[in-house]
Structure 1
């Protein structure tokens, strides 16, 4: 089996190890990022929805940056939302701060009943540059 080429953002490795998953894995020129929620460094949730969504994007950007990427390199996005109708307007408001200009990545939104105490999660796949694809 090939060893996974894992990407960790600065300062959060212990949190990922505690929860037994990798924040992102490089493979075949792509970066596969685990779903990111609005958790603080200690794993607790931001108390307000807008802050929670913003923190999820900040956590995502930290992983992308650690891999030499930006949101502009993202080609596919999956959003998971508890109570989609109740939170979608807030999500779109915050998303616009991070999304960038067209052309936009593909997007799938999924309504869920539980996200480990969170309201929002974002999972992406990004294209690595040739240099970053080698790790």
Structure 2
């Protein structure tokens, strides 16, 4: 049976404790990252949609870094968006700052009606580097 351990980036610990979840879990050579939203430091939604998309990527980057990973290690990304016609251009613009070279990860986009006040959420699976596994 594979073991698992939680990964916590620096800061925002109160948010994880309040909602009782791990930002990411290492197991079986992979990192399973919880959905990261475009929240400000206090956990509130960023009202500017372009900035909210950027913050979602920044927050995901913090979780990846805490596990010794980068965006190049992501093998699967799921994007949840409220109002995809409005939000997808912001996602695409923010993604360009973080995406590396091909091969790109698999990508699934899901339109949803509610994300607790947010407009985008990024959930990722990344391979662990041997030194981090």
Superposition TM-score, scaled by structure 1 size: 0.94
| Deviations 1:67-93, CA, capped at 9 Å, x for gaps | 000000000000000001122112111
**Distance in 1, Cα, partners of 2:107 & 2:65:** 21
Q: CA RMSD in A?
A: 1.4
Structure 1 segments unaligned to the other structure (5+ residues) = none
Change in Cα spacing, 1:3 to 1:29, as seen in structure 2 (3 Å) is closer
**Distance in 1, Cα, partners of 2:2 & 2:107:** 30
**Within-5 A mapping of 1:1-135:** 4-133=4-133
Change in Cα spacing, 1:102 to 1:10, as seen in structure 2 (3 Å) is same
**Distance in 2, Cα, partners of 1:126 & 1:2:** 16
What is the Cα deviation at residue 129 of structure 1? 1.1
Structure 2 segments unaligned to the other structure (5+ residues) = none
Contact preservation (8 Å) 2:3, 2:28: no
**Distance in 2, Cα, partners of 1:103 & 1:14:** 36
**Distance in 2, Cα, partners of 1:45 & 1:86:** 16
What is the Cα deviation at residue 12 of structure 1? 1.5
Superposition TM-score, scaled by structure 2 size: 0.95
Aligned residue pairs total: 133
